[in-house]
Amino acid sequence: MLKSIAAFGEDFAHREIVGALIRRVAKESKLPVEVKWRSARRGHGKIVNELREYFRDIKEEGASPDLIAVATDANCKGLNDRAREIPTQLSPVTAVLAIPDPHVERWLLLDGAAFKEALGEGCRAPDQKCDRSRYKQELIHAVQRAGVNPNFGGIEFANDIIDAMDLSRAATIDPSMKRFLDALRMAFRRET
């Protein structure tokens, strides 16, 4: 049976990267899903406000998705501090958090072999530093080194990279990805 997922994210990068991860894990779990993005722009503060409104609407209307996914960058605040800012306790259904630390673009650079399969040339897994534009720039440069012009900063290759990615290896490199994948898999197991 098709499972509905309401997803919230800060921007286009979250929508593409986290969306691709949700689809990949759902496919591995043999769980058909439909992801409906409720928000994918305007940053963390807007996400929190829209979530509160969405939870209120669900309770008033009675119609809810099977799962809610929320994607927001840690922005050097740390996973736990950022997670506490998201009002998941108000959710009438299971909510999973994708909180890349520090930024979601880093997740696409974790598996050089997957990057090579998707774009023809690999990349090195980046270190973890707090710099707002660092991973956006690293992704752009890695795509350019592969001889491709990144029209959307390299985000447009998220599906191809994630489809080729060794998720277990990537999760061992990045605890924030591991935390999201573990929570998502657990939620999917409850649904099967």
* Dihedral Cα 110, 116, 118, 119, nearest 10 deg: 110
> What's the CA gap between 29 and 95, in Å, rounded?
18
pLDDT value of residue 40? 61
pTM: 0.94
pLDDT value of residue 130? 81
Give DSSP secondary structure letters for 116-129. HHHHSS--PPP---
pLDDT value of residue 6? 95
Q: What is the mean pLDDT of each run of 10 residues along the chain (192 residues)?
A: 89 96 96 89 82 91 91 89 92 95 95 97 87 90 96 97 97 96 95 64
pLDDT value of residue 91? 92
153, 140 contact by CB (below 8 A): yes
Reduce the DSSP state of residue 27 to 3 states and report it.
helix
> What's the CA gap between 171 and 173, in Å, rounded?
5
Instruction: Specify the fold of 3-191.
Output: Rossmann fold (3.40.50)
